[in-house]
Structure formats: C-alpha cells, structure tokens
C-alpha cells in the first residue's frame, strides 16, 4: 500500500495544465504514492485535447484525504483561475475544522508569455495555503533543473500565443522534481 497520498487538483481549458497534471500523477505513482487526479470545470474543456477522458471533479474529501496537494491553474491576470479559486474557496468548513493544515502543498501554472504572471499566480495561490496552515514546499533552487526552468515558486510553462507549445523536457523535469520533493518532505514530516 502507498504510504503517501497525493491529490492533484487543477483547472485546464486548452490541455496544457491537464498534461502537466498527468505528468505529476505518473511521477508520484512511480515514487510509490497513491494519487487522486481531479479536474475542476470539466465542461469548460469540451472539445479540447484530452477532454474526453478528463478526471472527475474534486471534492473537499480529496484535499482532506491527501498528505500532499498540488494545485494547477493557468494564469489569470497574475492570479488563480476563477474555476479553481471557487473550489478552493468552498473549503471553508474544512479549514475551520483544521483539516487542511499540516499538509504539503505546491503549485503549477501556465501562461501564454514568459512574463505572463506565473510567479504572481503561484504566490497568490500560496496566500490561501498559508491561511490553511499548510506547508508550502516550493521547489526553490534545490535541483539543477530549476536553474533551467527558472521558477523557484513552482513549475510554469509558456504555451505561446496560440496555446500550442508542447510540454517538453524542461517542464517535465521541473514537474518531476517538484512532486518528488513534495513527497519526500511529506514523508519526512510523517516519519
């Protein structure tokens, strides 16, 4: 049985965040974690790549269940996309009961341009995590891959003006490092 439970909860319309989330899930499973992959706003992605096999919608139980929670969102004016924010904001009862505290959290994002608000989006996300009493485990510059992708706050991908730049090695390596680090820290905290 897996000793670490990872919930990957995300919003994706064009398929980029979905691709990133699936990479995180595969890496977490390879590390021996039990994974719940959940997508908010499924109806928004109809007709987009991968929309036919989108994961189920998340519930508060997915966050409560997890040791590690990874949130994914496209940038929206340097902030978390509304659909994901609505889900996060629905967790008030669980927050009030202290059920969201003492978990490892990290985030991933995508934007059309290099300076499209990725860092601001992740920092905005982490403001909520601090209110939860969560433990933000950003990748920092703890691996050589982070000097290549350049985002110490999480993982970000630039999709290009047409949202069609594929998720390639630089991003997948950064995703692998982020989820592996989050699982490692969670296991240390549990030990």
Phi (first) and psi of residue 109, to 5 degrees? -150, 175
pLDDT tens digits, residue range 18-43?
999 999 999 999 999 999 999 998 66
55 or 50, higher pLDDT: 55
Statement: residue 51 has pLDDT above 90:
no
- 80: which strand partners? 75
Statement: residue 2 has pLDDT above 90:
no
| pLDDT grade for 1, boundaries at 50, 70 and 90 | very low
Looking at residue 43, its pLDDT comes to 67
| pLDDT grade for 45, boundaries at 50, 70 and 90 | low
pLDDT tens digits, residue range 94-121?
999 999 999 999 999 999 998 889 999 9
| pLDDT grade for 54, boundaries at 50, 70 and 90 | confident
d(CA 101, CA 69): 11
Statement: residue 154 has pLDDT above 50:
yes
How many contiguous H segments (helices) and E segments (strands) does the chain have? 7, 6
The burial class, CB within 10 Å (0-12 / 13-18 / 19+), for 34 is middle
Looking at residue 191, its pLDDT comes to 84
Could you tell me the two tokens for 159? 């999709």
Could you tell me the two tokens for 169? 């090695």
Q: Is the dihedral of CA 96, 5, 28, 83 positive or negative?
A: negative
d(CA 42, CA 11): 8
């Amino acid at each position: 049985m897996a000793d670490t439970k990872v919930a990957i909860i995300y919003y994706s319309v064009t398929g980029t965040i979905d691709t990133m989330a699936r990479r995180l899930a595969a890496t977490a499973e390879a590390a021996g974690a039990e994974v719940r992959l959940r997508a908010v706003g499924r109806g928004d992605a109809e007709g987009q790549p991968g929309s036919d096999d989108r994961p189920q919608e998340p519930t508060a139980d997915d966050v409560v269940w997890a040791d590690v929670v990874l949130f994914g969102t496209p940038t929206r004016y340097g902030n978390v996309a509304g659909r994901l924010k609505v889900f996060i904001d629905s967790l008030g009862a669980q927050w009030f009961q202290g059920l969201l505290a003492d978990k490892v959290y990290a985030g991933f994002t995508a934007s059309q341009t290099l300076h499209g608000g990725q860092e601001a989006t992740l920092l905005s996300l982490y403001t909520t995590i601090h209110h939860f009493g969560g433990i933000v485990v950003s990748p920092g510059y703890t691996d050589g891959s982070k000097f290549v992708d350049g985002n110490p706050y999480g993982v970000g991908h630039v999709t290009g003006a047409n949202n069609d730049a594929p998720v390639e090695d630089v991003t997948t390596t950064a995703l692998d490092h982020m989820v592996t680090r989050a699982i490692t820290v969670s296991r240390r905290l549990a030990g």
